[in-house]
Amino acid sequence: MRYSRVKAKLQRGEPALITCCHFIDPSIYELTSLLGFDGIWLDLEHHATSDETAATLMRAARVGVSDVIARPAKGEFMRMGRLLEAGAQGIMYPRCESAEEAAELVKFAKFAPLGERGVDGANGDNPYCAMPMKQYLRAANDHTLLITQIESPRALEHVEAIAKVPGVDVLMLGPGDLSVMAGIPYQFDHPLITGAYEALSRAAKNAGIAWGTVSGTPEHTQRLMDLGATFICHGADLIMVKQGMERIQQQYAPLGFTFENRLAAEALRLEQESA
């Protein structure tokens, strides 16, 4: 099996940078992994990507060095086993609300005696029944990365207990969902959000684990790192393509080219309706 590059870096106190890939063309995963990013966030919570497609994407990523960190939906504990079997190095678990739920994550992501993950070994993780099972089980328990996402006011109340659950490696703040559930949608400079960064920083330090979140700029990332964050998620292929296309339009419009940008028109319509 491939050991988690991200987990190894975090254990050494080094920062790890993860980027998100939404497109399901394997070449995107191959390219990103060959470029040497620490990890690729494969989102199966908000997207309709099947387990079969996810396995193909993980296979493409294996030509390079990037971890694949798969995010199932809340409560999809049995699916986690399939994702790990297919070769994911880590699980990003969304909407974790309590220490009990974090313990369920560990239970289904770790083999006995640490958990109750089912044993197979015939897929990409073992890989393909090639490793002696005793050594494989120990290596999988030691090197699989587990991330609990703190995304609600209730979860913030329990963050200290969540951080202390044996087997949890990273606390990750989800500022988007937290802001919406707290009634301050996307007000990321609100005291509740800035206070949440500090709360995760304290909880992670007290538990001796890592913490992190998403970050849009190097400047914001530096502020997070000043608080001790080492797990940083930045960028998404979808956004990069969109911004690249918009840049072409901006550069070529002065030459007389025109574009029927329906995305911009729809955004303007919604803004006018809410004014």
pLDDT tens digits for 200-239?
999 999 999 999 999 999 999 999 999 999 999 999 999 9
State the DSSP string of 145-192: EEEEEE-SHHHHHTHHHHHTSTT--EEEE-HHHHHHHTT-TT-TTSHH
d(CA 221, CA 225): 6
Q: How many residues does the structure list for the chain?
A: 275
By the 8 A CB rule, do 10 and 169 touch? yes
pLDDT at residue number 179: 98
Band of pLDDT at residue 1, cut at 50, 70 and 90: confident
pLDDT at residue number 70: 98
H helix intervals, the chain: 5-11, 26-35, 51-61, 77-86, 99-109, 133-143, 153-157, 159-163, 175-181, 191-207, 218-226, 237-252, 262-274
**Residue 205 burial (CB count, 10 A):** 14
d(CA 170, CA 11): 11
**Residue 117 burial (CB count, 10 A):** 23
The answer to whether residue 275 scores a pLDDT higher than 90 is no
By the 8 A CB rule, do 16 and 69 touch? no
Domains of the chain, residue spans: 5-237
Does the domain spanning 5-237 belong to CATH 3.40.50.150? no
**Residue 210 vs residue 271, higher pLDDT:** 210
pLDDT tens digits for 140-192?
999 999 999 999 999 999 999 999 999 999 999 999 999 999 999 999 999 99
pLDDT tens digits for 30-74?
999 999 999 999 999 999 999 999 999 999 999 999 999 999 999
Burial class (CB in 10 A: 0-12, 13-18, 19+), 170: buried
Question: What are the backbone dihedrals phi and psi of residue 222, each rounded to the nearest 5 degrees, phi first?
Answer: -65, -40
The three-state secondary structure class of 131 is: coil
Long-range contacts (CB closer than 8 Å, 24 or more residues apart) made by 221-228: 224/197, 225/15, 227/197, 227/198, 227/201, 228/201, 228/204
The answer to whether residue 274 scores a pLDDT higher than 90 is no
112-116: average pLDDT: 97
